Amino acid sequence: MSRWQPNARGRLEQAALELYTERGFDQTTVAEIAARAGLTERTFFRHFADKREVLFWGQDALMELVTTHIADAPDSASPFEAVRGALRAVGEIFEGRREHARRRQAVIDANPGLQERELIKLASLAAVMAEALGRRDIPQPAAKLTAETAVAVFKVAFDRWISADGNNNLTHVIGDSLDELKALTAGT
Amino acid sequence: MSRWQPNARGRLEQAALELYTERGFDQTTVAEIAARAGLTERTFFRHFADKREVLFWGQDALMELVTTHIADAPDSASPFEAVRGALRAVGEIFEGRREHARRRQAVIDANPGLQERELIKLASLAAVMAEALGRRDIPQPAAKLTAETAVAVFKVAFDRWISADGNNNLTHVIGDSLDELKALTAGT
């Protein structure tokens, strides 16, 4: 029935971001996204559950990546060292995707419903990190404090990364932000 | 026309929390809250815009308190010292209100829409703190890092406070949590 479409997913994602940017998220339909990508609605729904998922599809993989990196950190790693490694791995995923990330963020920032979804995603990320730290026998409240703080740092680093000019690198910005947090808390 | 009702606001708040706990937030109507409090719906709407506001009404005052405390911190205070003072002031508001805070939190935790609202409130709190730090000439990213981290610590401290047995004190839990964050980041 259906022909295989080379990189249909990427084309749909690109078309959706363009339309969300031009018209706004609420004003864009799946039919329009499919048409812009030169594909059918049916193909769209083979890749995404709905038009919101185009913006949030990587979440499960992100959680798994973070969980794995925290679990695999050396036994000698402190809680913050374990999350540092996990956040660096997240940073690497975004390598070369800054323009995409910037456009995605602009769409989210323009829509309160999407902002809520993004906040829930970050809260879930913190919960997953706290659980992974708990499995390393990090007691409470250290596990939750580390996880919530790590997500706070990630949020600020991500924002710096997409706002900055020049060819910067998210992994480096995350590392710098963690170092700055350490310097900021040291003086108190 | 309307008689003055002694402590109508407090009675409505108490009645609403009881009903949200017993039946769930979505299943409770304003008419039922007013009836439980022995007041009219009209009186309810004189105090609250809707049934959600019963859970979130203190937000503007909270933002103002935090802004004022950061602005009034001594010139010599570091960014984290300034937010420490602000969070301690927030902690003092909750003095003697732990049972209320615990019941409110249970209602929120049971309802995804209310959880989103709570996350937005915390994100707004971080934004307000970052702005207040900016007015103290704290550069970026230090202002945002401090603000987002402070809210992360507050979240964990609040959770510890409402979960704990015994007569603990939110202001103390916040102070302890900030100290623990310092110790956690120092080792990295």
Q: At A27, phi and psi to the nearest 5?
A: -85, 0
As a whole number of angstroms, the distance between CA B167 and CA B26 comes to 32
Instruction: Tell if the CB–CB gap between B115 and A115 is shorter than 8 Å.
Output: no
Residues of A in contact with B116 (CB under 8 A): 116, 119-120
CB distance A153 to A177 below 8 Å: yes
Q: pLDDT for A32-85, tens place per residue? A: 999 999 999 999 999 999 999 999 988 889 999 999 999 999 999 999 999 999
Q: pLDDT for B31-61, tens place per residue? A: 999 999 999 999 999 999 999 999 998 888 9
Q: Residue B128's pLDDT is what?
A: 96
Whether cis (ω within 30° of 0) applies to the bond prior to B79 is no
B116 to chain A: closest CA residue? A116
Instruction: Tell if the CB–CB gap between B148 and A153 is shorter than 8 Å.
Output: yes
Place of tokens 């039946």: B23
Q: Residue B133's pLDDT is what?
A: 97
Measured over all CA atoms, what is the biggest interatomic distance in chain A, rounded to whole angstroms?
Answer: 66
CB distance B48 to B12 below 8 Å: yes
Instruction: Tell if the CB–CB gap between A148 and B155 is shorter than 8 Å.
Output: yes
Q: Show contacts of B128-134: CB within 8 Å, 24+ apart.
A: B128/B63, B128/B66, B128/B67, B129/B66, B129/B67, B129/B70, B129/B83, B129/B86, B131/B67, B132/B66, B132/B67, B132/B70, B132/B71, B132/B82, B132/B86, B133/B70, B133/B79, B133/B82, B133/B83
- HEC string of chain B equals CCCCCCCHHHHHHHHHHHHHHHHCCCCCCHHHHHHHHCCCHHHHHHHCCCCCHHHHCCHHHHHHHHHHHHHHCCCCCCHHHHHHHHHHHHHHHCCCCHHHHHHHHHHHHCCHHHHHHHHHHHHHHHHHHHHHHHCCCCCCCHHHHHHHHHHHHHHHHHHHHHHCCCCCCHHHHHHHHHHHHHHHHHCC
Residue B4 has pLDDT above 80, yes or no: no
Instruction: Tell if the CB–CB gap between A188 and B178 is shorter than 8 Å.
Output: yes
Instruction: Tell if the CB–CB gap between B153 and A145 is shorter than 8 Å.
Output: yes
CB distance A112 to B151 below 8 Å: no
Mean pLDDT, range A15-26, rounded to an integer: 96
Picking from B142, B155, B160, the nearest residue to A184 by CB comes out as: B142
A123 three-class SS: helix
Please state the separation of Cα B2 from the chain's center in Å: 31
By the CB < 8 Å criterion, does B172 face chain A?
Answer: no
Asked if the interface predicted TM-score (ipTM) of this complex is over 0.85, the answer is: yes
Sorting pLDDT into bands at 50, 70 and 90, what band is A182? very high
Instruction: Tell if the CB–CB gap between A153 and B149 is shorter than 8 Å.
Output: yes
Residue B165 has pLDDT above 80, yes or no: no
CB distance A133 to A79 below 8 Å: yes
Question: How near does any CA of chain A get to the CA of B151, in Å?
Answer: 8
By the CB < 8 Å criterion, does B28 face chain A?
Answer: no
Which of A83, A151, A172, A184 best probes binding to B when mutated, by most B CB atoms within 10 angstroms?
A184
As a whole number of angstroms, the distance between CA A140 and CA A124 comes to 18
Q: At A87, phi and psi to the nearest 5?
A: -70, -35
Question: How near does any CA of chain A get to the CA of B34, in Å?
Answer: 31
Instruction: Tell if the CB–CB gap between A152 and B151 is shorter than 8 Å.
Output: yes
Mean pLDDT, range B135-139, rounded to an integer: 94
Residue A2 has pLDDT above 60, yes or no: no
Instruction: Tell if the CB–CB gap between B177 and A141 is shorter than 8 Å.
Output: yes
By the CB < 8 Å criterion, does A186 face chain B?
Answer: yes
Residues 6+ apart with CB under 8 A from A184: B78, B79, B80, B142, B145, B146, B149
**What interhelical angle do A112-134 and A98-109 show, nearest 10?**
120
CB distance A109 to A115 below 8 Å: yes
By the CB < 8 Å criterion, does B84 face chain A?
Answer: yes
Residues of B in contact with A146 (CB under 8 A): 184
Q: Residue B132's pLDDT is what?
A: 97
Q: Residue B3's pLDDT is what?
A: 58
Q: Residue B1's pLDDT is what?
A: 41
Instruction: Tell if the CB–CB gap between A185 and B187 is shorter than 8 Å.
Output: no
Mean pLDDT, range B11-28, rounded to an integer: 96
Question: How near does any CA of chain B get to the CA of A96, in Å?
Answer: 23
Sorting pLDDT into bands at 50, 70 and 90, what band is A1? very low
Q: pLDDT for A136-180, tens place per residue? A: 999 989 999 999 999 999 999 999 999 987 668 999 999 999 999
Which of A163, A173, A185 best probes binding to B when mutated, by most B CB atoms within 10 angstroms?
A185
Residue A3 has pLDDT above 90, yes or no: no
Q: How many residues does chain B have?
A: 188
